Amino acid sequence: MGTNCPIARAQPLAAATPHWSSESLAALHHAAETAPQQALPAPDLAPLVAAERLGDSAAIDHAATDLALCLARQTALGWSPASAHAAWHIADTDARIDFAGELASALGAGALEAWLSGLQPRQPGFAALLAAHAAEADPARKATLARNIERWRWLPRDPGREYLLVNAAAFRVDLWRDGKVVDSHRVIVGKVKSPTPVFSATVRGVTLNPWWDIPANIVAESVGAMVRRHPALARKRGYVWGGGRYRQRPGPGNSLGVVKLIMPNSFNVYLHDTPSKSLFDQPVRTFSHGCVRVEDPLGLAATLLGDQASRADIDRIVAAGRTTDLKLARSLPIFIAYFTAEAGADGAIAFHPDVYNRDRAMGDADDLRKPCPA
């Protein structure tokens, strides 16, 4: 028996339920029957089939509209219950889509399948993930692909012309511009006990020679004890304290290195440099307290700043040792995400270790799927 679609009634139906032509009904049946090829649940067609057997036009229109809206919302927003992505702190702007209004327009234009297809994520590698999922015979790999296809549906369908995407599972940050990766850097992410959170923010600029305002948990873990027991060593390492506040001066030993992205967020997590360069050679790079340490961060800063500051300008400021904020000409979004399977530029699928056990936290993909409608 079907269960309630978790998002089927997230928005009210249009004031007047649209009428379904025989052509549109055929297109809906095809979309529903091929939903598993889109890594979506196989919908419960019983209410629509029962209405069609009775020949009740009003019942057919209501059942078809319910089914189409559920398919549309699952295509755009995902099918998992909220508990499966409770720690995914990226607002999906697609939730603001007027699904009922767009459905009515699509039916009027005889373009139901094109509309549903257009609700898929637009990231270039998404189609490759779908194709790999359809072809995969191994149940474990197929489930991994389904989970990561679902994660793309939790992101905005159109993230913008330019954005940064951190894949914590791949230990990499990419700068996307006009649908292509134009810059890529290896990164270090949080330890298993202090994982890098999934969230989005806006990058507004870069700070060169930053001070480090030390979070309370790191003070409690290590810095506070050093200050109490070895104050001379603490001062030598650039730590200053007073009034319950602990900071570290700019310098070669600063834990943030020589550059930090300005990206205000409630997690106090940033992309920054690190003095521990050798860690980038490790295949599994889970060493931080949650922040994202970037290899060649000055190169990334120069790419982001563009005409605002040349690499030579940046190097001069760093050498002078002055804390300096440089504003980007245009702010851009950054998404700190987690994908254990992803498609490369050539369409090949790479699988990454589930270092934070977030795949497992999603549960079994088939068990989580909610057919629609009831």
Instruction: Supply the CATH number for residue 200's domain.
Output: 2.40.440.10
Same domain, 329 and 364: no
Q: Convert the pLDDT of each residue in 82-121 to its tens digit.
A: 888 889 999 999 999 999 999 999 999 999 999 999 999 9
Task: Give me the residue label for tokens 């270790």.
Answer: 353
Nearest to 294 by CA among 324, 268, 259, 267: 259
Give φ, ψ of 264 to 5 degrees.
-50, 135
State the pLDDT at residue 218: 84
State the pLDDT at residue 5: 54
- Residue 160 belongs to some domain of the structure: no
State the residue range of the domain holding 307: 170-211+252-337
Same domain, 103 and 176: no
**What is the C-alpha to C-alpha distance for residues 200 and 337, in angstroms, rounded to an integer?**
8
Same domain, 198 and 302: yes
Same domain, 203 and 286: yes
Q: Are 144 and 138 in contact (CB under 8 A)?
A: no
Kindly give the parts of the chain with pLDDT less than 70.
1-15, 363-374
State the pLDDT at residue 366: 54
Same domain, 290 and 191: yes
State the pLDDT at residue 73: 96
Partners of 14 in beta bridges: none
Same domain, 314 and 229: no
- Residue 14 belongs to some domain of the structure: no
- Residue 374 belongs to some domain of the structure: no
Same domain, 104 and 193: no
Q: CA-CA distances (angstroms) from residue 183 to 149, 270, 284, 297?
A: 24, 18, 21, 11
The helix or strand, by DSSP H or E, that contains position 234, with its residue range, turns out to be helix 231-236
State the pLDDT at residue 76: 96
**What is the C-alpha to C-alpha distance for residues 93 and 110, in angstroms, rounded to an integer?**
26
**What is the C-alpha to C-alpha distance for residues 73 and 86, in angstroms, rounded to an integer?**
18
Same domain, 144 and 234: no
Do β-strands 292-294 and 180-190 pair in parallel, antiparallel, or remain unpaired? antiparallel
The amino acid sitting at 35 is: A
Same domain, 272 and 321: yes
- Residue 319 belongs to some domain of the structure: yes
Q: What is the DSSP string of 239-268?
A: EEEETTEEEE-SSTT-TTTTEEEE---TT-
Please give the torsion angle defined by the CA atoms of residues 33, 37, 40 and 45, in that order, rounded to the nearest 10 degrees: 10
- Residue 345 belongs to some domain of the structure: no
- Residue 55 belongs to some domain of the structure: yes
Same domain, 136 and 191: no
State the pLDDT at residue 212: 87
State the pLDDT at residue 364: 60
Measure the N-to-C terminal CA separation of the chain; round to a whole number of Å: 8
Number of separate domains in the chain: 3
Question: Residue 97 carries which DSSP code?
Answer: -
Same domain, 363 and 320: no
Same domain, 49 and 86: yes
- Residue 145 belongs to some domain of the structure: yes
Q: What is the 3-state secondary structure (H, E, C) of 124-170?
A: CCHHHHHHHHHHCCCHHHHHHHHHHHHHHHCCCCCCCCEEEEEECCC
